[in-house]
Copies of this chain bind each other. A is one copy, B any other.
């Protein structure tokens, strides 16, 4: 189709925001295997903290992006997955209810572990002009790690609040958080220690430049 009259591709324009909150694989039926139950035990309390963080982020004007497995269902869409998790009374229902996407949230379906691989995530972040990502979700040692790694390759600044990430094994979760801190230069402070007034605010040219410079020198 032609693009001449869609000057900025934005349609119902996405917010501009130097920061974006990313929720990885939180919409999940947790029905895949016996290990799901182990993960669920850690994931449920974490989901409550992500829900709090999402509320505070929204109040600060920071958009939320659901980056979610398509679970091999190439024909379905995100809303169908949300309905499945909630209406079919799956094990993932309590988490899906806590973190049910609102109409103003963004979403990206990922076919593989990294949210950047074979998806439109990077382009969406460019349109938002986001340079800092707050990464949360499951599981810490696989999809969160690989998405954070791809974000680091692309020079995004990373916050991975350590109380907003869960894995099936607590020790693996610890190791992977330390790894992201050391190698991806991720800030892993507690979600309650994130000061949104400091990092957010509407997109400004000045902050964009600072972000760009920061990104070049880090």
Interface, chain A (partner B; CB < 8 A):
1-14, 24-25, 28, 32-33, 35, 39, 69-75, 77-79, 103-107, 109, 111-114, 117-120, 122-124, 127, 129, 138-139, 141-143, 146, 149-150, 152-153, 168, 175, 179, 183, 205, 208-209, 212, 216-218
Contacts of A39 in B (CB 8 A): 2
Taking a contact as CB atoms under 8 Å apart, the answer to whether A209 and B205 are in contact is yes
CB distance from A155 to the nearest CB of B (A): 9
Taking a contact as CB atoms under 8 Å apart, the answer to whether B35 and A2 are in contact is yes
Q: How many copies does the complex hold?
A: 4
CB distance from A154 to the nearest CB of B (A): 8
Taking a contact as CB atoms under 8 Å apart, the answer to whether B7 and A139 are in contact is no
In the assembly, what is the distance between CA of A106 and CA of B72, in Å?
12
In the assembly, what is the distance between CA of A8 and CA of B9, in Å?
31
In the complex, which residue of chain B has the Cβ closest to the Cβ of A4? B33
In the assembly, what is the distance between CA of A118 and CA of B129, in Å?
16
Taking a contact as CB atoms under 8 Å apart, the answer to whether A8 and B72 are in contact is yes
Contacts of A33 in B (CB 8 A): 4-5
Most buried by B among A2, A3, A119, A216: A2
Contacts of A112 in B (CB 8 A): 3, 9, 123, 153
In the assembly, what is the distance between CA of A65 and CA of B12, in Å?
25
